[in-house]
Amino acid sequence: MSSAVQKLAGAVPKAIQVGRATLTPKLNTFWKYAKVELKPPTPAEWPQVAQGFQNLAKAVRTQKWKQLTVKEAFINAVVATEVICWFFVGECIGKGTLIGYQIKGAVDFDLHL
């Protein structure tokens, strides 16, 4: 038993070293892109945001969506599905339950014998 514990104790630092060597470059890449992609727009970028919404409205008016390839339409559908799923996950977290809202006076969780 003690030899197994000694082997495990010797393997843990090696595993940590390998994990650190593997994860460090990947985390650096993640943080590099996260700093750029996940930050909210600055006031200087608001004109670009407005232009993007104008382009979107123009594309809807001219029915540009009819000229999408099947691959582009599929990718857009997958992205829309992901956004909807994250919305529902946020709703469940906010509600604190999967089903319905807990309204004071309408919910009774007390044990009645």
> Are 101 and 95 spatial neighbours (Cβ–Cβ below 8 Å)?
yes
DSSP secondary structure code for residue 43 in this structure = G
Residue 55 tokens read as 């382009």
According to the model, what pLDDT value does residue 54 have?
96
Distance CA 77, CA 79 (A): 5
Q: What tens digit of pLDDT does each residue of 59-98 get?
A: 999 999 899 999 999 999 999 999 999 999 999 898 888 8
Quick check: 100 pLDDT over 90? no
Quick check: 101 pLDDT over 90? no
pTM higher than 0.85 for the full model? no
Distance CA 26, CA 113 (A): 57
According to the model, what pLDDT value does residue 6 have?
81
Residue 95 tokens read as 């509600």
According to the model, what pLDDT value does residue 111 have?
76
